[in-house]
Amino acid sequence: MIKVLIPINEFPTDINNIRGGVHAALKNLLIGFSNKEIIVRVISFNKEIKQNTIKKFADNIEIHYTFEGALPFHSLNYFFIDSFKLKKHVKAFKPDIIHFEAGDAFLLSQLLINKKIPYLLTIHGIAIAEGKVERSLHKKLSSYFNGFLDKLLFPKNIIHLSNYSKKIYANKKIDNQVIIPNALSEHFYNLQLKSTTENKLIFIGVLNDNKNLLLLLEAMKMLNKKNMHFHLDVLGDFKDLNYKTTIEDFISQNQLQDQVYFHGWVKQSDTLKLIEAADILVLASKQESLPMVIAESMAAGKAIVASNIGGVSEMVQQNVNGFLFEPNKVSALSDCLEKLYNNNNTIQQFSVASNKIASTMFHCNEIAKQTISFYQKILSNNNFKQIL
């Protein structure tokens, strides 16, 4: 039976209150692992943890929470503190393979582990690409720094979420690589598919310039002039107060208050209800890899309208389960939404197609099988190299 150690940063101690992204992907993967012949230990480095804590996720899965460190920068903690902690876990757990679910500076934590133990990385984000669209100088420099570390510490075994990721790293020397998208749990597949449209949009994510909520509001303003009024539920919080002011001012100046509803981050049960009530997920981002919110909304049977960036076109098939539009083009987004306004037939077709595509692409049981198969391939190749 394969023993797998999974290091990650800031995995929430309340696993029922995960907001999405990498943490949601890992939780769903663990659900898939829970009924497989595999033993898993997750080690999470958290800033807020005061004492080591162990939580049982399943009979074959434990999550170990430990304090990241008191140094002012994450990268310093990863290098000077967490690398020693990870080494202790390797010695105690004796894993067959180590699976990093966070890259960039976090890979500094692997510098002291036994190099005879093969390790791999799932690439969730592309730091250099994210740096190009960041407006904040601090965040831009941080992304480029992470991108530099990514190149310096890049593992020889890689899980890509999409062909987009694989193409970006085409010039890297990689021993073993595979494309496996993020996993989804049963919850999204079990939602009731709607039979009629109410012109309800949903927008999910951190509310910043990259996620580009402003573009969607501009499109709604254009459509209002054509007497096409959408309802918009927004799930997520602002991290940039200036961007929050920009959004609030735009809503006020264009009389959108009765159409836009901000929910903040809500627990998963409430998120599921809001997704179930929606007709269309809109993703207006300037940069993404393979967004979890699209996969979740597809499983829930939603029509998707998304900017054609990163690996999005590998999820959204034009005129099959949604529409793709040119990034940051308000007229293109507006045109897509106009085609779907009061268009129950098309939305129903997209809904059924989304659910069908997601059932084969993202289900946690299937993703877990593919991941274990990749572990076995790495271990087989690694043993062969050791014999040589």
Domains, the chain, with CATH or none: 2-183+363-387 (3.40.50.2000), 187-361 (3.40.50.2000)
Statement: residue 131 has pLDDT above 50: no
pLDDT tier at 43, thresholds 50, 70, 90: very high
Q: Please compute the mean of the pLDDT values over residues 165-172 and round it to a whole number.
A: 87
β-bridge partners, 38: 2
Q: What is the CA radius of gyration of the chain?
A: 21
* C-alpha span between 307 and 309 (Å, rounded): 6
Closest CA to 44 of 60, 72, 23: 23
pTM: 0.86
362 touches 183 (CB < 8 A):
yes
Statement: residue 388 has pLDDT above 50: no
245 touches 252 (CB < 8 A):
no
6 touches 25 (CB < 8 A):
no
pLDDT tens readout for residues 199-253: 999 999 999 999 999 999 999 999 999 999 999 999 999 988 999 999 999 999 9
pLDDT tens readout for residues 97-107: 999 998 777 88
pLDDT tens readout for residues 284-322: 999 888 899 999 999 999 999 999 999 999 999 999 999
95 touches 4 (CB < 8 A):
yes
pLDDT tier at 185, thresholds 50, 70, 90: confident
Closest CA to 321 of 341, 306, 307, 311: 306
* Number of Cβ atoms within 10 Å of the Cβ of 318: 11
Q: Please compute the mean of the pLDDT values over residues 119-142 and round it to a whole number.
A: 63
pLDDT tens readout for residues 313-334: 999 999 999 999 999 999 999 9
Residue 264 structure tokens: 């903040």
DSSP string covering 241-285, please? HHHHHHHHHHHHHTT-TTTEEEEES--HHHHHHHHHH-SEEEE--
- What confidence score (pLDDT) does residue 202 get? 98
4 touches 97 (CB < 8 A):
yes
Q: Please compute the mean of the pLDDT values over residues 42-53 and round it to a whole number.
A: 93
